[in-house]
Structure 1
Amino acid sequence: MKRRSLAGNFGVGVFVLSLISIVIAFFSASWLVSDYRITGAKLDRLGLWTHCFRSLPDPQDEYQRRFFVGCRWIFDPFTTGYDQIRGYLMPWYIVITQFFFTLAFLGVLASFILVLLFALCFGPHQKRFVKLVQLIGGIMLGVGLSGGLAVIVFALTANRDNWMPGHDNNFFGWSFALAVAGVIEALICSALFLLEANIQKKKQKQLKESQTRFEMEQEAKA
């Protein structure tokens, strides 16, 4: 018996693409970006955890005496007044996006360990091989669904005209595109691993039946 079928080989390759896409999207800060040609834009770009502003006036200061410039982590403890606008920077739809994409991120990290076991350590002859493959497929399905929910919520709500300034000049950036790609790749990866599990399960059943027939033939000859 081969270590894995073509579905398993493709599954590993697609998993690597999904892992790279989701990890980069998780940490990068270009989910929503401003048109660089607009000189007066207040927003530069933002991600799930980092915001970059050209000159954002404090939304809680009606006299606009304080402006935020440059890139900052959302939980930056050193910038005066930044913690006071955290509610503005993290409305409910961003919190939902962060939560579900974090689940996808953790899921793909857990799957990384299991895929290493699948590719390097486990073989079809081992007792729990099929369960391992099914577990990978199930986790990656969860990654795809949770990540998909995150990008859908972000796509429907993040570029509304009542949140970040310059709504008409903002668009979804390459980090968001990577997140979408990672979600699609995770769903494809899940389908391939579940198919691999089904193939290996049938192979084990056929091997068992073949061994049983051989033993019966030997007993008949004896």
Structure 2
Amino acid sequence: MPDFGLNVLSKSAVLLLIVSSAFIIVAFSTDNWLANDGTRKSHFLKIGLWNACFDDFKDIRHHYDRSFTGCRHVLDEEYHFIDDFLRPPFFIAVQTFFTFCFICMLIALGGTAAYVLCFTYDYQVFILQALGWVTLTGGACGFIAVVVFGALGDSRDWMPNYEHNFLSWSFALAVVGTYGMIMTSVLFFVEAKIQRRKIEATESNATFALDHPVKS
């Protein structure tokens, strides 16, 4: 990574944010949060935050005699008939919190780019603290999302043949990305504290020099 006037801790925070963001983007946009293991014929194939894939799937409550095949957006008009089954309250909560995580990630990336490219000592501590809070908020939202989905996504009360379903790689990337966001926030807060102490020490030395001028 180019120097950009950053120290090792700042570089580590920036690099970790970039890697975590890559994981979150992939998790946010792919369809493998929950998948069928394929060992048994199943009408459910896989689902992500925004797409669900079925093979001749019919409403398990038998409210509709319509079947669904292929992958579609969960808000697609075709899935309107099974929306209350497809998106129970816990899944809507997961979508909401992970979307907040995604938005915080975008804000953090923009703020970090501004910090790196338009570096200014005048607002250094403030910017680092702001980045710390944004990444911590994003990490907290992501943490809630993955905990809720981990607890309820693979339960017997949602997709059929639950014993043959498993939490898949998109979910794993969401977990890693969320953890990375939280660790990034820690690095930003630590760096802000270090820089504040440096500024206070510099100001203290300057005050001491003014109060005790060197006599020739």
Moved more, 198-207 or 50-59: 50-59
Aligned pairs (5 A) from 1:1-222: 3-38=5-40, 40-61=41-62, 65-77=65-77, 79=78, 82-123=79-120, 125=121, 127-218=122-213, 220-221=214-215
Structure 1 position 60, deviation (Å): 4.8
Amino acid at match of 2:8: L
Q: By how many angstroms is 1:211 displaced?
A: 2.2
1:166-187 superposed Cα distances (whole Å, 9 cap, x missing partner): 1010000100000000110011
Q: Which amino acid aligns with 1:74?
A: V
Q: Helix, strand or coil for the counterpart of 2:156?
A: coil
Whole-angstrom distance in 1 between the partners of 2:101 and 2:176: 13
Cα deviations across residues 43-92 of structure 1 (Å, max 9, x unaligned)?
11100110011221133536x74211110001113x3xx21211110001
Matched letter for residue 23 of structure 2? S
Which amino acid is the alignment partner of residue 59 of structure 2? Answer: D
Cα deviation, residue 217, structure 1: 4.3
Give the TM-score of the pair, scaled to structure 2: 0.92
Q: Supply the AA of the counterpart residue of 1:56.
A: F
Contact in 2 for aligned 1:30/1:46 (Cα 8 Å): yes
The answer to whether the Cα contact below 8 Å between 1:60 and 1:85 also exists between their aligned partners in 2 is no
Query: Residues of 2 paired with 1:34 and 1:25: CA distance?
Result: 17
Identity %: 31
Code of the residue aligned with 1:76 in structure 2: it is D
- Tell me the number of residue pairs that the alignment of Structure 1 and Structure 2 aligns: 213
Between the aligned partners of 2:7 and 2:151, the Cα distance in structure 1 is 39
CA pair 3-205 structure 1, distance change in 2 beyond 3 A? farther
Counterpart Cα distance in 1 of 2:85 and 2:38: 23
Report the residue type matching 1:190 in the other structure: S
Q: For residues 156-199 of structure 1, what are the alpha-carbon distances to aligned partners after superposition, in whole Å with 9 as ceiling and x for unaligned? A: 11111121011010000100000000110011000000000001
Gapped regions of structure 2 (runs ≥ 5)? none
